[in-house]
A and B are shown apart, each in its own frame.
Chain A
Amino acid sequence: MTKKLSEKVLNIKLSGIRKFFDLVSEREDVISLGVGEPDFETPWHIRDEGIYALEGGRTFYTSNSGLKSLRVEISNYIKRTQNILYNPANEIIVTVGGSEAIDIGLRALVNDGDEVIIPQPSYVSYEPCTSLANAKPVIIDLKPENDFKLTPDELEQAITDKTKVLILPYPNNPTGAIMNKKDLEKIAPIIQKHDIYVMSDEIYSELTYDGKHTSISSLSGMKERTILINGFSKAYAMTGWRLGYACAPNEIIKQMLKIHQYAIMCAPSTSQYAAVEALKNGDKDIEEMRKSYNQRRRFLIDSFKKMNIPCFEPFGAFYVFPCIKEFALTSEEFATKFLNEQNVAAIPGSAFGRSGEGYLRISYAYSLDNLKKAMERLNKFVTDLRNNK
């Protein structure tokens, strides 16, 4: 073919994670610290409900916005965890993972040239989704001295008269940072003053280790301008089921629903039936998993302290984000060398934005035994590096 493919898509960079993945997949017996998904299997009662739906022949499309019973359960869940009321009839849409909600949410909000503020380091899809929606990503480089929280000053400086949306990625992948109620109350007035929308990606909301998560949508004057995104992947270990949701005022949901209806039709029905069970009877599972994650988190923080590698204490998600600047290697060089010499895969922080340079993302969605082995190897690796100086 002589005709060139979409300029917009051609200009999107391949994710740094993808590059590293190709490198890792050539090797055998790698100890990985590189996953962004729970190591737990989906709790059996949830899987069982999915099987039951299949056995009962409930294999059809659901309504575009998702099963009514699921939207009701989502509404109940947000009411009981955040005390926010979303009408299941027209303020909730069930999506194919949180990722779809990010995509269609942005597309519903922006016009060509609008600016979308993206704090980084953060999940890899905000920037390309913004570009694909013909909007302009405006990056805020979050700082370790603020524990990778978004500060009012940083936000104020990034806002222009073209600013349309702020993406708020907390609890954060890859840093593990959280924004608690007090932190959110500091930025809310700025958001309201400039009348911008917020896309709050709360996919890790159940995985916090210093008090319960607060959604920015629960603050006064925020619900009307917020798309709250969440899903089942992280809380209930349901990544492969591909199920998420967005809650927002009806005017926004109505537009998102149009895109969803034409591009997706509806989220997988088996997953939706299973998810109803997850929301009804899954609180106990979350509690158990959170306990395990918290123990591993403490173990890693302690390991880094012993190795003398600076690492702020993350209180959310299942990642730690140690700083490796002392070794005078880029994160990609460090990760590659670590892989080659010790056969351990950790993701270079730079894959999550330029401000992730000098850091590694270490996932603790692994058994303690696995983490112990990996930390032994890391210890050996950094000891060698230090001795060769």
Chain B
Amino acid sequence: MREELLSLIEKNSRIGLDELAVLLGTNESEVLKELETLEKENIICGYHTLIDWEKTSIEKVTALIEVRVTPQRGQGFDKIAQRIYNYPEVKAVYLISGGFDLLVILEEKSLREIANFVSDKLSTLESVLSTGTHFILKKYKDFGTILDKKHEDEREIISP
């Protein structure tokens, strides 16, 4: 039930316990128990909402920043990653294989703020060798959801 439960709430975290129990063919207390275990094990790390901010009047700029760093003895990339991810404006930090080491996703109110973050905070970290900043111009699909697509049922209303 674990995998099916996870994939259900991954798509809809607002779904109720009663409904989950029906869909999974079990009872509410079993579902609750499993959810609590998953939270305790930090497998469920939060219940977030996918928002297309572009459709609001709120200004947001997102950048992907490639960061090359010198790994530190005994700590590898973890220490430097931590120094970066502690900034609240940093939305994600990934260790990446290939031409650079860390991928940082940054969300700010303006281009200026992103520029400031990169020049003042990120580049000045000791172990950072270089950065490359890419601005996101448009999000087509995020977290498996196509943002602009409205689902319309094009089937005939009735078929045998």
Contact = CB atoms under 8 A, between A and B. Distances in A.
B is bound to A: yes
B153 interface: yes
A295 B4 CA distance: 10
B22 A30 contact: no
Interface string B125-137: 0000000000000
Given A39-B153, A291-B4, A295-B8, A347 B22 contact: no
Nearest to B19: A299
Nearest to B153: A39
A21 B160 CA distance: 10
B24 interface: yes
B50 interface: no
A124 B159 CA distance: 11
A119 interface: no
Interface residues of A, number: 28
A303 B23 CA distance: 11
B155 interface: yes
Given A291-B4, A295-B8, A37 B22 contact: no
B22 A298 contact: yes
B157 interface: yes
Contact of B155 (A17, A35, A299): A35
B155 A37 contact: yes
Nearest to B4: A291
A367 B151 CA distance: 11
A124 B8 CA distance: 35
A32 B8 contact: no
Interface in B111-160: 151, 153, 155-160
Contacts of A39: 153, 155
Given A295-B8, A295-B24, A36 B157 contact: no
A34 B158 contact: yes
Given A298-B22, A298-B23, A299-B22, A34 B4 contact: no
A345 B157 contact: yes
Interface in A22-62: 24-25, 30, 32, 34-37, 39
A39 B25 CA distance: 22
Task: Name the residue among B25, B153, B158 with the largest chain A CB count within 10 angstroms.
Answer: B158
Contacts of A299: 19, 22-23
A295 B23 contact: yes
A368 B151 CA distance: 14
Given A295-B8, A295-B24, A302-B22, A24 B157 contact: yes
Contacts of A32: 153, 157-158
A77 interface: no
A124 B4 contact: no
A301 B83 CA distance: 53
B149 to A, nearest CB: 11
A123 B160 contact: yes
Given A295-B24, A298-B23, A299-B22, A345 B160 contact: no
A145 B7 CA distance: 36
Interface string A122-139: 011100000000000000
A212 B142 CA distance: 35
A35 B156 contact: yes
Interface string B13-37: 0000001001111000000000000
A36 B7 CA distance: 26
A37 B19 CA distance: 25
Interface string A252-286: 00000000000000000000000000000000000
Contacts of B23: 295-296, 298-299, 368
A240 to B, nearest CB: 9
Interface of B: 4, 7-8, 19, 22-25, 151, 153, 155-160
Q: Which 8 A-B pairs have the closest CB atoms?
A: A34-B158, A295-B23, A302-B22, A21-B158, A32-B157, A36-B159, A124-B160, A35-B159
29 contacts: A15-B160, A17-B158, A17-B160, A21-B157, A24-B157, A24-B158, A30-B157, A32-B153, A32-B158, A34-B159, A35-B155, A35-B156, A35-B157, A35-B158, A35-B159, A37-B155, A39-B155, A123-B160, A295-B23, A295-B24, A298-B22, A298-B24, A298-B25, A299-B19, A299-B22, A299-B23, A302-B22, A345-B158, A368-B23
